[in-house]
Chains A and B, each alone.
Chain A
Amino acid sequence: MTGTIVIYFSILGMLVGTIGMILSKDLIKKILSLGIVETSINLMYTGISARSGIIPPIVSGDFSSAFYADPIPQAVIITGIVISFALLCLSLVFAIIIYNRYHTMNVETIEMIFEREKQ
Chain B
Amino acid sequence: MKIAGIIAVTIIFVIVMLSFDPSGSIPRPIEQIVERVNVPNAVTSVYLEARLYDTIFEIIVFTVTALGVAALLASLPVNIDEGQQVFGTVTVYSGGLAALSITLFLYVVINGHITPGGGFVGGVVLATGVITYGLTSSFKKASLHYDMLKIGVFEKISFVLIFALSTLIILLPETHSQLLSEAGFGSTFSGGFIPILNILIGIKVYAGAWKMSSEFISRRGTL
Q: Which residue of A is nearest B77, CB measured?
A: A100
A107 at the interface (CB under 8 A from B): no
Judge whether B22 and A86 touch: CB under 8 Å.
Answer: no
Partner of B120, one of A8, A14, A51, A78: A78
Q: Is A52 an interface residue (CB 8 A)?
A: yes
B17 pairs with A11, CB closer than 8 A? yes
Q: Are B47 and A82 in contact (CB under 8 A)?
A: no
| B residues contacting the other copy or chain, number (CB 8 A) | 48
Contacts of A19 in B (CB 8 A): 6, 9-10
Q: Is the CB of B31 within 8 A of A64?
A: yes
Q: Among the listed A18, A75, A81, A85, which residue makes an inter-chain contact with B46, where contact means beta carbons less than 8 Å apart?
A: A75
Task: Give B124's nearest chain A residue, CB to CB.
Answer: A85
Chain B residue with Cβ nearest A92: B216
A101 to B30, CA, bound (A): 53
Other-chain contact of B29, A4, A18, A70 (Cβ < 8 Å): A70
Which of B17, B29, B72 touches A97 (beta carbons < 8 Å)?
B72
Binding site for B on A (CB under 8 A): 3-4, 7-8, 11, 14-15, 18-19, 22-23, 51-52, 56-60, 63-64, 68, 70-72, 74-76, 78-79, 81-83, 85-86, 89-90, 92-94, 96-97, 100
